Amino acid sequence: MRELLRVEGLKAGYGEAVVLNGISLTLAAGESLALLGRNGTGKTTLINTLVGVTRRHAGRITLDGADVSALLPYQRAERGIGWVPQERNIFKSLTVEENLTAVARPGPWSVKRVYEMFPRLQERRLNMGTQLSGGEQQMLAFGRALVLNPKLLLLDEPLEGLAPIIVEELLRSVARVVRDEGLSAIVVEQNPRLILGITQQAVVLDRGSVVHQGTSEALLREPQTLERLLAVSR
């Protein structure tokens, strides 16, 4: 299987503060990875470093064979990195449709396909970003990343703070994209059982270092390991 992402000896953080301490991992094209860990272990910092919004102190990031370590965020997006941040960062002064069409690039994911996946967005296509609920904003952030037609999709806690019915809808959509359609993705999620069932690989961080790597299926079968690494009760 072709390698899509390689991270080697990555040390990064904010200013002089180093949060990631020599992270190394790989991801094959068509694979998805659950990025797990307790709060404050470096998950979001790793996502932000892949996007290019932290300070890299050492190490290398390779995407589809090209070194992107020194590229600016917009250049990484052009190379194929799509990002759904915790803050969603939708354009609140634009309509739903303008949010999508402003960033859309040619590829299998179109605005029409996003509307098919999230009919609620089509119903609200003329609404401004400020007029959307939190769940609708998350759908829009997800759809906006998809219409970029990325090679690699980064989802930073896409289910956080949402009502259970919205969590179910978004989880089905994430599963469709990363499992059924094979878009390479890294998904950060506080509830490991939600995301391990739809990803192939799993990495657990602690204090900015990788403390576990393996398949998602194997980690799901090891409740003692989940409890030890993540304080997850059986």
Residue 233: its pLDDT value, please? 53
Residue 191: its pLDDT value, please? 87
Average model confidence (pLDDT) across the chain: 94
Q: Which two tokens stand for residue 12?
A: 């990064």
Residues 8-26 have a mean pLDDT of: 97
Residue 9: its pLDDT value, please? 98
Write down the domain spans for the chain. 3-80+150-230, 87-149
Between CA 174 and CA 168 the distance in angstroms is: 10
Residue 161: its pLDDT value, please? 87
pLDDT tens for 85-129 read 988 889 989 999 999 999 999 999 999 999 999 999 999 999 999
Q: Which two tokens stand for residue 75?
A: 């250049």
DSSP string, 141-187: HHHHHHTT--SEEEEESTTTT--HHHHHHHHHHHHIIIIIS--EEEE
Fold entry, domain 3-80+150-230:
Rossmann fold (3.40.50)
CB 51 within 8 A of CB 83: yes
Categorize the per-residue pLDDT at 230 as very low, low, confident or very high, splitting at 50, 70 and 90.
confident
pLDDT value at 190 more than 90: no
Q: Which spans in the chain are helix H?
A: 43-51, 73-79, 96-101, 111-117, 119-123, 134-146, 164-175, 192-196, 216-220, 223-230
pLDDT value at 224 more than 80: yes
Torsion of CA 21, 22, 26, 31, to 10 degrees: 0
Question: Please, which residues have CB within 8 angstroms of residue 18's CB and are 6 or more apart in sequence?
Answer: 11, 12, 57, 208
CA 137 vs. chain centroid, Å, equals: 16
pLDDT value at 172 more than 60: yes
> How many CA atoms lie within 13 Å of 229's alpha carbon, on the beta-carbon side?
24
Residue 41: its pLDDT value, please? 93
pLDDT tens for 148-168 read 999 999 999 999 888 999 999
Residue 142: its pLDDT value, please? 96
Between CA 184 and CA 197 the distance in angstroms is: 15
Between CA 107 and CA 71 the distance in angstroms is: 23
Between CA 226 and CA 47 the distance in angstroms is: 22
Residues 57-64 have a mean pLDDT of: 98
Residues 20-38 have a mean pLDDT of: 96
pLDDT value at 232 more than 80: no
pLDDT tens for 41-54 read 999 999 999 999 99
